[in-house]
Structures are given as structure tokens and as C-alpha cells.
Chain A
């Protein structure tokens, strides 16, 4: 149980392209979804938290107009990297929880998306 599917697993595209990443909870309702970015040999950095039907909450230093998050249903959240540039190249990981934002419910992670901007 508690499976999170993330697509695509890898994207290679030209600078200036917008890229959409999908995160789906397959067998539970994801009240809260988190989006992380991870650079090589580093830890996960939280980018934003989203709740179904409401605006995402972005961490300090993360541009909300650059990283558009939509949490349209209890099973789907999307991250769109707009006008991506080489410095946006990274490993993006989503996670989902069936608890609310104040909950300590464990997160269930997708397998990540390797984004490479040429």
C-alpha cells in the first residue's frame, strides 16, 4: 500500500522549455503533498507544500512563479518548471501524506524526476 507514482522519471530538454512533473497517490488520498529538490551528494530540500484545493506554500527562496504547483485532486499534484534553465537541472522528488499539514503521518515518496536542461 501507500504507492506514489511520479512521472516522468527523466527529462532532457532545451533551455527555455517548461516542464511538467506529475505526482499521483495510487491507493490513498493525499491530503498533503510535498515537493523537494535534491542536488548531487546533498540532502532533500523542501520546495513547497500543497494541499488539495488550496494554494501551495513555498519555502523561502523558492520562486512561486518559476515553480508552479497545482494540487487539483486528492490523488494528483503537478509541478511545472517554467522557462527552465541549466541551473534548474536537478532531481525533483514528490511525496504524499494522508495527514494534514500538522500531522506527523509518514510521507510516501515517488521515485523522482531527473531534470536536465541543456
Chain B
């Protein structure tokens, strides 16, 4: 199973760009990389997903180097409402080929005024 490693916490200020990096050294060939955002007492919310290079949507960008052993979630111009825990999730395949989602500890982002 692909294990992920992220910084436990990050601090930023309103208006700044925030980059959160996730390491996934044993990512499998068919695995995608997905990022989720979670607020307290709520379920995670899908942010972005990618396989390689760069993906951009209306809320974030995802950068994935050629070796795919890491990925970086980029949040442009964060606001106070972006304070949350961010998880990267890599598709994991057990020996039987079944997808077993494994959440790491996530990164707690605190945005200051």
C-alpha cells in the first residue's frame, strides 16, 4: 500500500500562496493522487486529483514531478476559511488488486489574519 507523508502543520497569512507537499515513495503505476480538505466535524471534501505533471482547477493546482514520488498542492491567495486539515490520498492496491484508501495524518493549515 502506498504510504503518504505530509507535514503535520503549516501556518500562513491571508493572501499568501500555500504549498503543501506529500511524499509517496512507493506509489504504484496505476495510482492517482487525490487531495481532500476537512473542516472540524465535517466529512472531507474533494479538492483535486492528478496523475502526472500539473492539474489546475478553480480552487487549487497540483504539481506532480516525473517520478511521481511526491506531489504538491498549491492554494493561491489563501483566506481564513482555508484553515483546515488537508489530506493527500494515493490509490493503494492490495495483493488482490482492490483499492484500499489509506489516509495519512494530514496537514493542519492555519491561516492567520
Majority secondary structure, B binding face: loop
| Chain B contacts for A42, CB-based, 8 A | 105
Number of interface residues of A (CB under 8 A): 29
Interface residue A28 (Cβ < 8 Å from any Cβ of B): no
| Chain A contacts for B43, CB-based, 8 A | 4, 6, 93-95, 109-112
Number of interface residues of B (CB under 8 A): 25
A104 B30 Cβ-Cβ under 8 A: yes
| Chain A contacts for B49, CB-based, 8 A | 104, 106
| Chain B contacts for A107, CB-based, 8 A | 34, 36, 44, 46, 101
B45 A109 Cβ-Cβ under 8 A: yes
Q: Complex: how many Å from CA A2 to CA B49?
A: 15
Nearest residue (CB) in A for B51 is: A104
Interface residue A87 (Cβ < 8 Å from any Cβ of B): no
Q: Complex: how many Å from CA A79 to CA B42?
A: 18
| Chain A contacts for B106, CB-based, 8 A | 43
Interface residue A71 (Cβ < 8 Å from any Cβ of B): no
Contact of B44 among A2, A45, A57, A109 (CB under 8 A): A109
Q: How far is the CB of A63 from chain B (nearest CB, A)?
A: 18
A106 B34 Cβ-Cβ under 8 A: yes
- B residues contacting A by CB (< 8 A) are 30-32, 34, 36, 41-46, 49, 87, 91, 93, 97-106
- A residues contacting B by CB (< 8 A) are 2, 4, 6, 34, 36, 42-46, 49, 57, 59, 91, 93-95, 101-104, 106-112, 114
